[in-house]
Chains A and B, each alone.
Chain A
Amino acid sequence: MQELKKINGELNAFSNISTSVDKFPFSVKDNICVKNVETTASSKILKGYIPPFNATVVERMLEKKFGFLGKTNMDEFGFGSFGTNNENVARNPFNNEYVAGGSSSGAAIATSILKYHVAIAESTGGSIATPAAFCGVTGFVPTYGTVSRYGLIDYANSLDKIGIMARSIDDVKITYDTIKGPDRYDATCTDNKIGNHDNKKIFIIDQMLDGVEENVRSHFDNFISKMENEGYAIEEKSVDVLDKAIASYYIVAMAEASTNLAKYTGFKYGFKNEQYGHGYNRFFTEARNEFGKEAKRRIVLGTLVRSASVKDKYYIKALKIRRIMLNELNKLLSGGFIASPVMPMLTPRIDDSEKLNPVEVYKMDKLTIPPNLCGLPHVSFPIAYRDSMPIGVQVMTSQFNDYAIMDFAKIWEEKFEYKYRYNIGEL
């Protein structure tokens, strides 16, 4: 514990750590409720919020052989790709001058530094794949609706998926089998059977390689060659609508986020305004000053795209494009997996990431958005190390075929040695 606390002081993986754990430890992203443990989604507006209940995923983990280790750091409400939109900037365990990725930054760092541990994380548009890739661990996002969202602090209801990070795909599978399944408290949670169908084919999509830096592309090509040697047929395809994925995703995500954030009024959860004599509008406006800049930006944009005068132009249009994308990707994925790099560039330095404007940051999510917008299961895992920093790949499959990408990741895992800078808890 002492070593963990020391390294946590440097990297900001955990917002709090249990005093002791006598079972296999699991961490929980700070936007998922754990009974009697402060849960803030890294937002000042939720400071002091103590949930009186466990999220369904937490309840299921505790019922099995897992012990709660702590809450992990994240971008405020999940709004970020680098783990820097919060009070305590998350730092990469391979080099603390670099970003850890977001928004499940703490989950990825914790997985990278702890020898025995699984992380319960959450993805809306890339919040598991990206930090998993930057921190060199395995990240898994299941088919939308196969894991209950009860107890998750909503970012965007039609996009949020609770997923897992671990050091091995076997640990991911054990955890997924523990937390998945229908839940009476989540009406969108399905009881569909999870399949395992592998056509021994990998599609590479032109639009997903446009703009990928050469030093990332070369490692990806090398990975594809190795999987070809494992018996996978490789086929290049073009899916034009993917060029519209970023805009469609951000419109849907911000529209949903702006409605979800309306519940933080300064007297029900977390932060208390205390100026009860002020009129409701003034009271509410004062309380919402606690949101960070990115949250405010998303509230404004989400409110704008839902306005009656432009709703069809932006919000409904984005949902129609999601339908086109769903149809095209589902058709393609019935014949094989789609593989791509996770991010179009190498892990950025923290100071460089802070210089990017919002559109530049949103564009970084180009490769992780398609599976997230369409609720497709996907996995990311390390495929190479460059200047001692990991580089990841993302593999997606059709809805409810989650076990197939786990087996795919297992093939790679048996051939490639994953590296870690820390092994806290090693016996």
Chain B
Amino acid sequence: MEEKDFDRLLEICRLKLDEKEKESVKKDIEDVIKYFEILGTVDTDGIEPAYHPIETMARIREDLEIKCENQKELLDNTKTFRFYVVGPKV
């Protein structure tokens, strides 16, 4: 994999690695991708992808209003200001 392609991939992943870690992860990725090539030998024409291992019926919950009893506890995992969750600048 070209250096610039790997840098772009890290950028998409929102990961910043130091030089040593980057070199090691890049090598690992190349080795694993090379191993994945084994799949090319299987004829899969006309086969439906199996997104799930079991056939599930689409079940939809009734659209009911449910009172949330633990709003405070939910917000306890965040930093808040008044009733807002504090986050980074967009």
Contact = CB atoms under 8 A, between A and B. Distances in A.
Interface string A293-306: 10011011101110
Interface string A274-303: 111111111111101101010011011101
Interface string A313-347: 11011111111101000000000000000000000
A135 interface: no
Chain B interface main SS type:
loop
A141 to B, nearest CB: 12
A304 B54 contact: no
Interface residues of B, number: 50
B83 to A, nearest CB: 16
A40 interface: no
A136 to B, nearest CB: 29
Interface stretch (A199-207, A208-216, A356-364, A412-420): A356-364
Interface in B26-67: 28-29, 31-33, 35-36, 38-42, 44, 47-54, 56, 58-61
A324 B43 CA distance: 10
B48 A320 contact: yes
A250 B51 CA distance: 14
Contacts of A250: 32, 36
A274 B70 CA distance: 25
A272 interface: yes
Nearest to A278: B88
7 contacts: A250-B32, A276-B89, A280-B88, A288-B13, A313-B40, A316-B49, A322-B53
Interface of A: 48-50, 52-53, 143-145, 158-159, 184, 187-188, 190, 241, 243-244, 246-248, 250-251, 258, 265-270, 272-286, 288-289, 291, 293, 296-297, 299-301, 303-305, 313-314, 316-324, 326, 357-359, 362, 373-376, 399
Given A241-B42, A243-B38, 14 more contacts: A50-B76, A187-B60, A188-B56, A247-B39, A267-B88, A274-B79, A283-B89, A296-B17, A300-B25, A303-B12, A320-B49, A323-B47, A358-B32, A376-B53
